[in-house]
Amino acid sequence: MELSKLLAVSMLSLAIAGCASSGGTTDEASNTDASAAESQTQGVPGSPDLDVVTEEQAAMASNAMLEQTTVYFGYDRSEIRPEFKDLLNAHAGYLVANPQASIVLEGHCDERGTVEYNLALGERRADTVKRYLIVQGANPSQIESVSFGEERPAMMGSDDSVMSKNRRAEIKYQ
């Protein structure tokens, strides 16, 4: 991917937080303040000076952010959680910088609740992400959305940690 243009997008905060931003795979209940704080304060390992961000570092950070293509949701919820806004901002930035790029957003649910309601809920999740990216400047024509409901779980199983990984929207570049 051509990411140099992303430098035009101001992403100093991403450079600092990006590499550590592994959050979002937790469910609503276990998404504590502690883990959120951790992802904000941890710096780029080995970074000589956080105040000076080189082109390479910024590109690396954006790259790392763009490699994250899944956002997670609370049970029966479709709002974007704050911890995923940086990730989505990075993808929006990429779409703005690369008007020829296009994505499909896949909405998914955990297995609780009815099959049909979950199909609708999965679409809502994909659409929420789509609207967010459009507000951030992406062109609507770059984004398709599709719901798979509870039919394509990321992980099999019924415990909370598994189900939290199944309540998600996946960004798929075409």
Partner 1 sequence: MIKRYIFLLLMSFCVSTQAELTIEITQGIASSIPISVVPFKFEGSLKDNMDQIVRSDLERSGHFTLLAPDDMLSLPATEDDIYFTDWRLLKQDYIVVGTVKSLPNKQYQIRYQLFDVFSETELLTQTLTGSASQLRDIAHRISDAVYEQLTGIRGAFSTKIAYVTTNPQRTAFSLSIADSDGAREKTVLTSKFSIISPSWSPDGKRLAYVLIEDDGSRVYIQHLETGKKELISAQKGINSAPSFSPDGKKLALVLSKDGNPEIYVVELATKNWTRVTSHYAIDTEPNWMPDGEHLIFTSGRTGNPQIYRVNLTSGYIERLTFEGSYNARARLAQDGRFLVLVHQANKGAPFRIASLDLMRGLLKSLTSDTQLDESPSVSPNGVMVMYAAKYNGRSILAAVSVAGDVRFLLPSKNGDVREPAWGPYLN
Q: Which residues bind partner 1 (CB under 8 A)?
A: 75-76, 111-117, 119-121, 123-124, 127, 146-149, 151-153, 156, 158
Q: Pick the closer one to partner 1 by CB: 50 or 115.
A: 115
C-beta of 136: minimal distance to partner 1 in Å? 19
Instruction: Please report how close the Cβ of residue 148 comes to partner 1 at its closest, in angstroms.
Output: 6
Structure tokens at 82: 């704050």
Compute the distance between CA of residue 142 and CA of residue 105 in angstroms, rounded to an integer.
Answer: 11
Integer Cα distance of 169 and 108 in angstroms: 6
- Shortest Cβ 68–partner 1 spacing (Å): 23
**Between 5 and 152, whose beta carbon lies closer to partner 1?**
152
Q: Which is nearer to partner 1, 21 or 166 (CB)?
A: 166
Residue carrying the six token digits 């909370």: 160
At 39, the amino acid letter reads S
The stretches of 28-84 forming alpha helices (DSSP H) are: 33-41, 55-67
